[in-house]
Amino acid sequence: MSSVTGQRSGVEVRLEELRRTYGAVTALDGLDLTLHPGELVALLGPSGCGKTTALRLLAGLEDADGGRVVVAGLDVTRVPTNKRDMGMVFQAYSLFPHMTARQNVEFGLRLRKQDGARRKKRAEEMLELVGLTAQIDRYAHQMSGGQQQRVALARALAIQPTVLLLDEPLSALDAKVRAQLRDEIRRVQLGVGITTLFVTHDQEEALAIADRVGVMRAGRLEQLGPPTEVYAHPQTPFVAEFVGLNNKLAATVDDGEAEVLGQRIPLVDKSFRPGAAMALIRPEAVKVLSEDADEGVVATVLASSFLGAISRLTLDVGGAGHVIAQLSTADALEHPAGSAVRVRVRPDPVLVTPVD
Amino acid sequence: MTDLSQTGAIAGAVVPPGPPRPGLRARRRRTLLLLRIVVLAVLGAFFLFPLLALLEFSTRGVGEDSPRTLDAWGRIVTDSTLIPAIVSSLQLAVITSVVAMVLMVPTMIWVRLRLPRVSRVVEFLCLLPLTIPAVVLVVGLVPIYAWVRYLTRTDSILTLSYAYVVLVLPFVYRSLDNGLSAIDVRTLAEAARSLGADWFTVITRVVIPNMAQAVLNAALLCVALVMGEFTIASLYNYVNLQVAIAQAGLADANMSMAVSLASLMFAFVLLLGLSFVGRWRRRHGKAAA
């Protein structure tokens, strides 16, 4: 996550007990979410978890079956979309094909009856903000996907909305453009200080730019918190497995602790029933020591994956099966494939799941 | 199995085919080009010969060895029934196009955006006239037209536009449906709504401009269909262009052929103009390529 700089402004947004069903399918099941003024909250989750539904209810593009949407203290649940004063960037390219970039950005300003000179100035400012002054008179089909989404962002911000909504705006872009635009969006959002809801299924995007990440599943929030907390301290097995990589190691639970790889580690959920379980351990929580260390269990390095500054080692820990450890490449080079090592786990509270 | 030992490969091994050699590619290109030319020539001849026959007949002089003449073409503008018939057909074409567009464009956009569940019903109703023979349509419309004449207090040929709007529905529907399918109407509408547009603005300033080509296609199809319509006008005893051509053919075959050819060329020019408009719009960025 980028460090937050700049003055915070924007409005508070509250989604209170939001419900939405489509026939027999419950898309949102009593969602409670508050966005603080000026913050960027990312809703993360698999397809069908309700994150886009939540965003569309906030935008007014769909009607809630229950609950309220409150923006800056006002209940806007029954207010039509065009009266909610929110800017939105869509997953699908949404620029109006018959208008140039300038005309697209001016569209909302024209609806607000701004005079020509002001509209022109504002459009130029917004396109400069997203770095597209050179494309100002181009049509959508004359621009790349990344450029189109930048224009869409400029268009959404031009009307000075109270809230910015981003519905998987980077999904249709290739990886390199996605990373660049992701940082661009964050830079612009911090500069403007607008309260923003960002929906994505890509955890890297969510963790990289959000002030808080909400992980959703089956219409409910599983966990909401800063990216470092959601990643390092997942509160449910679903969050642990969805966000980041995990090792699933055989464990024995007893008295609020789990025995894993010969170590006793405290549980996140101390009420978990005693007996056999599977412990979820992050690769970076697995420490690889030299063979002659006086702690840890014996293991053999099966393979090494080079990922740049970090590497991942696949280890055979005998009865515990295979374990993946993540460490710096410099450290990994000391343990080539075939070498014997010792392995221990960082003693942070661990999540466990029932045996499959 | 082919013995590949000469190539150094293991005999009996199956070698996957590589890319064709450059000479083979050029030969294939020439063959395809020749095939295209032959197909176009055959189809072109199929359509061109009847037109040439019309031209030949309409320029024949009186008598066996008389020279070619444009007298029949000249008589088009002096015939007392033909000019009013042409004017009536043009008026009907314009009225039918306008009414069909005003009826269908907002309806189809609204159904696409807000009532997708009824789209199949609308499609069925719009395509129904294709299945009904013109004679049956006329018989079915007789009581309707009794009311039309009673309410409008007129027996003008322009009342045929009611029947023509029904007749052109399938073609208008298909053209507009293709236009709507080519754009992401829902996302464009939602984007416009999020920026503050009401539904009228969404339809008139966002959706319609992006289906302008489809609307133009539909309008010109209406014109071509109305200009070529004979059965309904004839059965209702109105004299439109095609009825006038048929009547002229009984007395002046040369002039009748000349008018037929002229109306065909008019429709051809219209449709050719349509394709040029589409190309111009794409070249000037008004539409995606």
* A81/B193 Cβ within 8 A: yes
Within-domain flag for B266: yes
* The CATH fold of domain A245-353: OB fold (Dihydrolipoamide Acetyltransferase, E2P) (2.40.50)
Confidence of residue B16 (pLDDT cuts 50, 70, 90): low
Q: Are B49 and B191 found together in one domain?
A: no
A111 to B196: CB separation less than 8 angstroms, yes or no = yes
Do B52 and B94 fall into the same domain?
A: no
Instruction: Nearest by CB to B193, from A82, A97, A139: name it.
Output: A82
Give per-residue pLDDT as tens, A343-354: 999 988 888 888
Q: Are residues B49 and B96 in the same domain?
A: no
What confidence score (pLDDT) does residue A1 get? Answer: 28
pLDDT score recorded for residue B1: 33
Chain B within 8 Å of A144 (Cβ-Cβ)? no
pLDDT score at A169: 92
Bigger pLDDT: A286 or B276? A286
Map chain B to HEC letters.
CCCCHHHCCCCCCCCCCCCCCHHHHHHHHHHHHHHHHHHHHHHHHHHHHHHHHHHHHHCCCCCCCCCCCCHHHHHHCCCCCHHHHHHHHHHHHHHHHHHHHHHHHHHHHHHHHHCHHHHHHHHHHHHHHHHCCHHHHHHHHHHHHHHHHHHHCCCCHHHHHHHHHHHHHHHHHHHHHHHHHCCCHHHHHHHHHHCCCCHHHHHHHHHHHHCHHHHHHHHHHHHHHHHCCCHHHHHCCCCCHHHHHHHHHHHCHHHHHHHHHHHHHHHHHHHHHHHHHHHHHHHCCCCCC
| pLDDT tier, B18 (very low <50, low <70, confident <90, very high otherwise) | low
Pair A215, A238: CB distance under 8 Å: yes
Q: Are residues B114 and B45 in the same domain?
A: no
Same domain, B43 and B161: no
C-alpha span between B259 and B79 (Å, rounded): 11
Higher pLDDT, A332 or B283: A332
Side chain identity, residue B16: P
B164-214 pLDDT, tens per residue? 999 999 999 999 999 999 999 999 999 999 999 999 999 999 999 999 989
pTM to 2 decimal places: 0.78
ipTM for this model: 0.82
Could you give the CA distance from residue B224 to residue B220 in angstroms, rounded to a whole number?
A: 6
Strand A257-260 with A286-290, pairing:
unpaired
> Which tens digit of pLDDT belongs to each residue from B134-177?
888 888 888 888 888 888 888 888 989 999 999 999 999 999 99
A162/B contact by beta carbon, under 8 A: no
> Per residue in B75-96, pLDDT tens?
888 888 888 998 999 999 999 9
Q: Is position B273 within any domain? A: yes
Q: pLDDT at position B289, please?
A: 41
Whether B42 and B159 share a structural domain: no
**C-alpha–C-alpha distance, residues A275 and A159, integer Å:** 59
Closest Cβ–Cβ partner in B191, B192, B285 for A139: B285
How much is the pLDDT for A9? 64
B194 and A107 within 8 Å at the Cβ level: the answer is no
User: Is the domain of B44 the same as that of B129?
Assistant: no
Please check whether residues B146 and B194 belong to one and the same domain: yes
Shared domain check, B54 and B102: no
Provide, as residue numbers in chain A, all residues whose Cβ is less than 8 Å from the Cβ of B191.
88, 90, 94-96, 152
pLDDT tens digit string along A167-213?
999 988 888 888 888 998 999 999 999 999 999 999 989 999 999 99
Containing H/E element for A356? none
Q: Residue B168: give its domain's CATH number.
A: 1.10.3720.10
Per-residue pLDDT of chain A (356 residues; tens, 9 = 90+): 223 323 346 899 999 999 999 988 999 999 999 999 999 999 999 988 999 999 999 999 999 999 999 999 999 999 999 999 999 999 888 999 999 999 999 999 999 999 999 999 999 999 998 999 999 999 999 999 999 999 999 999 999 999 999 999 998 888 888 888 899 899 999 999 999 999 999 998 999 999 999 999 999 999 999 999 999 888 888 998 889 888 888 899 998 899 988 889 999 888 888 999 999 888 989 999 998 888 889 999 999 999 889 999 999 998 778 899 999 999 999 999 999 999 999 988 888 888 86
CB A109 within 8 A of CB A118: yes
- For domain A13-238, give its CATH number from 1.20.1260.10, 3.30.930.10, 3.20.20.150, 3.40.50.300: 3.40.50.300
- B2 within some domain: no
Assess whether B124 and B34 both reside in one domain: no
- With CA atoms as reference, the chain B residue closest to A101 would be B285
Structure tokens at B204: 């008139």
- Sequence spans of domains, chain A: 13-238, 245-353
In this structure, what DSSP letter does residue A201 have? Answer: S
Do B167 and B54 share a structural domain? no
Cα gap A101→B242, rounded to integer Å: 49
Name the residue among A75, A147, A143 with its Cα closest to residue B288.
A143
Angle at B126 between CA B121 and CA B129, to 5 degrees: 125
Give the residue numbers spanning the domain of B27: 22-58
Indicate yes or no: CB of B195 within 8 angstroms of CB of A159: yes
Domain count of the fold of chain B: 2
B86 and B31 assigned to the same domain: no
CA distance linking residue A90 with residue A96, whole number of Å? 12
Q: Determine the distance in angstroms separating the CA of A77 from the nearest CA of chain B, rounded to an integer.
A: 15
Chain B 212-241, residues with CB within 8 Å of chain A CB atoms: 212
pLDDT of residue B256: 86
Residue B14: band (very low, low, confident or very high) from pLDDT cuts 50, 70, 90: low
In whole angstroms, give the CA distance from residue B218 to residue B127: 14
Averaged pLDDT score across all residues of chain B: 85
